[in-house]
Amino acid sequence: MSQRLWLSVGVFITVLVGALSVYLYLKATPYQAEIDHGPTPEAQANPYLAAEHFLRKQGLTVGHANSLDVLPTLDPHQHSLLLLGDRYNMTPRQIDQVMNWTRAGGRLLFVAQSLWDEKASQSNDLLLDRVQLHQSLSKDLKDPPPDPLDDPYPKLTKLYLEDEDAPAYASFDTAFHLEDPKNLAQAWANSGKATHMMQLNHGLGSIIVVTDADLWKTPAIGQYDNAWLLWYLTADTGVTLLFNTDHDSLLTLLLRNFPQALVALIALIGLALWHVAVRHGPLLEPAAKGRRQLQEHLRASADFMLRRNGQQHLLQALQQDILRRVRRRHPGFEQLGVAEQWLVLARLTGQPTRAISQAMSPRPKQRLSSADFSRQVAHLQTLRNTL
């Protein structure tokens, strides 16, 4: 292909690309779009983050804690403690601490977590039992008489305030109902069928019990008067939210974050146990009877005697055989002292006295290792063979 033809093709492609670019520029319409990346990690870790921001905007000092260990640092005067998490692991001692803190002037708000058991006369919520309130299912209540005013929002909880024409509306879970058998409550809030919030006086402080706290989580806190109700219950106080009292165990955290490492550790432990297990070599299959030789019979007999009588018996037998041979070669040997006997044995065998003493002295009762036992037998056999 000639150079002129290549140049023509290049010019044509350049013109074509330019024309296409102009066309796309004239037809393209710019626009803006918002991409929702979901909640931030901070919001995911703290379901009450929006509630904290709202209360701070109202001028309140807000913090949150993960356990009741923070209680001794909180001044009960003009302070609200919101127990919004699970409390099944609370001990009677912790409940006493919380009640004493409230009695000294603190404002306590907590969520009822268990239903009242009529047969047991208690629930699994020790703190709820301490304030003598009961929680039951709304479906077990009798239907209320017809409302002549025809309540337009029967599933919303209404809080009536003095000098207000209309109530405040909150979206408590209507599946649960609070009962006050001792008539201790000073204020309460109801839906069309059940009661979902009660307030009691306790010493210099007050206690507020609610059926649930989901209305103060994101995004429910932005609905109805949920945010206003939280501010109303904590107004003019510092606020501490406690909503993560249950911590995962170490094993749970390891399984969640390092499963492969745990599997490798378990495998390593298994291999270590297999390695240190007591083994005496591979198992030998029994040989056919027709091919057994004298050496095999002797080995089998020795193994039987070792298992039956133990190491001490075999060593004593060798020592006694050595003594019998010495008596034949040295009359009156048995009448000599031990030291003199060792000297006679050293002279007859050509072995040092120390070696004679180690070989002929009584052995301790503990079992010898296979290597030590073999060396002791070989030493005794050497002495016997030289006599």
Give the pLDDT score at 146.
63
Give the pLDDT score at 130.
94
DSSP characters for 286-341? Answer: PPPGGG--HHHHHHHHHHHHHHHH-HHHHHHHHHHHHHHHHHHHSTTGGGS-HHHH
Residue 113 has pLDDT above 70, yes or no: yes
Average confidence (pLDDT) over 237-261: 74
Average confidence (pLDDT) over 117-138: 92
| Segment among 119-128, 133-142, 318-327 with least mean pLDDT | 318-327
pLDDT top residue among 107 and 328: 107
343: its two tokens: 């000297």
In the chain, the amino acid numbered 221 is: I
Give the integer Cα–Cα distance in Å for 191 and 171: 9
Share above pLDDT 90 across residues of the chain, in percent, rounded to a whole number = 36
Give the pLDDT score at 133.
95
Give the pLDDT score at 94.
92
Give the pLDDT score at 338.
75
69 band by pLDDT with thresholds 50, 70 and 90 = confident
Q: What are the strands, taking DSSP E only, across the chain?
A: 62-65, 79-83, 107-111, 134-137, 157-159, 168-170, 176-179, 187-190, 195-202, 205-210, 238-242
> What value, to the nearest 5°, has the Cα angle with vertex 79 and ends 182 and 85?
70
| Domain made up of 41-242: CATH architecture | 3-Layer(aba) Sandwich (3.40)
Identify the CA nearest to 373 among candidates 303, 320, 326: 303
Share above pLDDT 70 across residues of the chain, in percent, rounded to a whole number = 82
Show me where the domains of the chain are located.
41-242, 295-386
Token pair 């009877």 in the structure block, residue = 289
Average confidence (pLDDT) over 270-286: 72
User: Full-prediction pTM beyond 0.75?
Assistant: no
What is the dihedral sign for C-alpha 220, 221, 223, 224? positive
CA distances from 112 to 80, 108, 128, 225, 349 (A): 17, 13, 6, 21, 94
User: Residue 36 CB: number of other CB atoms within 10 A?
Assistant: 5
Give the pLDDT score at 170.
95
Q: Summarize pLDDT for 11-42 with one digit per residue, the tens.
A: 778 878 888 877 777 777 777 777 766 667 77
Residue 315 has pLDDT above 50, yes or no: yes
Residue 266 has pLDDT above 80, yes or no: yes
Q: Which residues of 257-284 are buried (b: 16+ CB within 10 A; e: fewer)?
A: eeeeeeeeeeeeeeeeeeeeeeeeeeee
Identify the CA nearest to 170 among candidates 138, 121, 210, 201: 210
Give the integer Cα–Cα distance in Å for 56 and 50: 10
Give the integer Cα–Cα distance in Å for 168 and 120: 37
Phi-psi label, residue 347: left if phi above 0, alpha if psi -120 to 50, beta otherwise: alpha
245 band by pLDDT with thresholds 50, 70 and 90 = very low
Residue 290 has pLDDT above 60, yes or no: no
Q: What is the DSSP letter of 206?
A: E
User: Residue 181 CB: number of other CB atoms within 10 A?
Assistant: 9
Q: What are phi and psi of 213, to 5 degrees?
A: -120, 15
Q: Summarize pLDDT for 347-384 with one digit per residue, the tens.
A: 777 777 777 777 777 666 666 677 777 777 777 777 77
* Cβ atoms of 79 and 205 closer than 8 Å: no
pLDDT top residue among 108 and 244: 108
Average confidence (pLDDT) over 139-161: 79
Token pair 């919101």 in the structure block, residue = 82
Give the integer Cα–Cα distance in Å for 206 and 191: 23
Give the pLDDT score at 98.
94
pLDDT top residue among 260 and 377: 260
Residue 250 has pLDDT above 80, yes or no: no
Residue 279 has pLDDT above 70, yes or no: no
The contacts found for 279-288 with CB under 8 angstroms, 24 or more apart, are 280/370
Residue 126 has pLDDT above 70, yes or no: yes
Identify the CA nearest to 205 among candidates 69, 91, 105: 105
- Helices first, then strands: H and E counts in the chain: 13, 11
Residue 103 has pLDDT above 80, yes or no: yes
| Segment among 48-52, 73-77, 105-109, 278-282 with least mean pLDDT | 278-282
